[in-house]
Chain A
Amino acid sequence: MHTVDTHHDEDKSQYFWVWGFLLVLTAAEVALAYNQVFQPVQMLEALMILSIIKSVLIIGWFMHLKYEIAAMKWVMMGSVTICLCLMCIFFADAFRIIHLGVK
């Protein structure tokens, strides 16, 4: 077996905590949506914030990105975040359609 460059102190219990937290966040999402706490746009924002928190937990702990060097974290996450943010430009048009109406 090769020398693995990802030797770091791993505590198994931290993964169970992350898993439990992810399940709690999922339950919170379901409760928010099922009780229809917010209007659609506000609901979308609330659910996306919870999903981003969940994705940070998955990428950081389960995918071990938190153990990688800083350059890798910034390049990987920075590039994909910029690309995804660029796609947000389309949302302005989606809102415009609501207000102007499509005939």
Chain B
Amino acid sequence: MSDMAVSHGMAGEFEPSLFGAYSKKIGMWLFLLSDTLTFGALLFAYSYGRISNPDWPTPFHKESIINATIMTGCLLSSSLTMVLAVMAARRGDRSWTRNWILFTMFFGVAFIVLHGMEWTKLIAEGMTPSKNPWSSTVQQFGGTFFTLTGMHMVHVTIGVIYLGVVALRKRFLPILLICWLAVWLGTPADSVFHLGAHLILIGAIVAGIIMFLKPKDYDAHDVEIAGLYWHFVDLVWMFIFPLVYLMSTRITG
């Protein structure tokens, strides 16, 4: 019954659902609102630092801006493919639902890879959470940058795992484990991504437990709920991109 939508004012056995929407959708919206406040606090903290420090570093030159713009294009395109997946699910077209979700995951993975490359470049230039090579007086730049973008990258990774479970169900678990091994063994031991790879393992364990405890065939509601989460990840980036990258461009030549 938890998935059912009950009209307002309808006398019957059950309480009318909040806003006439099914409970899973309300639950996801409430979660997203709370997550909005988390990201809101991080974005406000970053903006506070940016405004109050005239010497704020501007390390993002042409290459970084192009890279971040492509990342933005990936997320916007993934939102389009996600909404097409939701439409296909409503039509009952399982094949195209899966295909569109896989396209969405492709764009999500592309975003993570491009973001990982950007992080690697900044770390190679000497940036850490506690210092940066561009401005010795603004030590909090690294900390705020890595916290904000790292938090978002974690959300994107969770989103890709979530979509994979909805699209492929148990068949996605071995793929996740292969991805975990590939990232873990394919990155240097001193790389942040060597440790970060374990997020994929944790995701695989959690997804496995959920699918073991509640095995089900995901329907149009589940696709729509997964879509809400994915669009939220896209939405947050629409604020991180201008605040972090575009406000710290370095124009040379």
Contacts and interface: CB of A to CB of B under 8 A. Distances in A.
B100 to A, nearest CB: 12
Residue of A10, A62, A79, A80 with most chain B CB atoms under a 10 A cut-off: A62
B5 A3 contact: yes
A8 B54 CA distance: 50
Interface string B51-89: 110100000000001000100110011011011100100
Contacts of A34: 65, 249, 251
A58 B78 CA distance: 12
Contacts of B90: 4, 6-7, 10
B238 A54 contact: yes
Contacts of A91: 44, 47-48, 51
A30 B247 contact: no
Nearest to B60: A33
Interface stretch (B33-41, B110-118, B200-208): B33-41
Interface in B199-253: 219-221, 224, 227-228, 231-232, 234-235, 238-239, 241-243, 245-247, 249, 251
A58 B246 contact: no
B22 interface: yes
Contacts of A71: 19
Interface residues of A, number: 57
Nearest to A90: B48
Contacts of B73: 23, 26
Given A33-B249, A62-B83, A41 B51 contact: yes
Interface in A14-72: 15-16, 19, 22-23, 26, 29-30, 32-34, 36, 40-41, 43-44, 47-48, 50-51, 54-55, 58-59, 61-64, 68-69, 71-72
Interface string B119-144: 00000000000000000000000000
Nearest to A22: B76
A48 B79 CA distance: 21
Contact of A30 (B52, B227, B246): B246
A62 B69 contact: no
Contacts of B82: 62
B51 A68 contact: no
Contacts of A29: 241-242, 246
19 contacts: A2-B5, A4-B224, A10-B87, A12-B84, A19-B79, A19-B80, A22-B76, A23-B73, A44-B247, A48-B239, A55-B239, A75-B19, A80-B33, A90-B48, A91-B44, A93-B52, A94-B48, A97-B52, A102-B52
Interface of A: 1-7, 10, 12, 15-16, 19, 22-23, 26, 29-30, 32-34, 36, 40-41, 43-44, 47-48, 50-51, 54-55, 58-59, 61-64, 68-69, 71-72, 75-76, 79-80, 83-84, 87-88, 90-91, 93-95, 97-98, 102
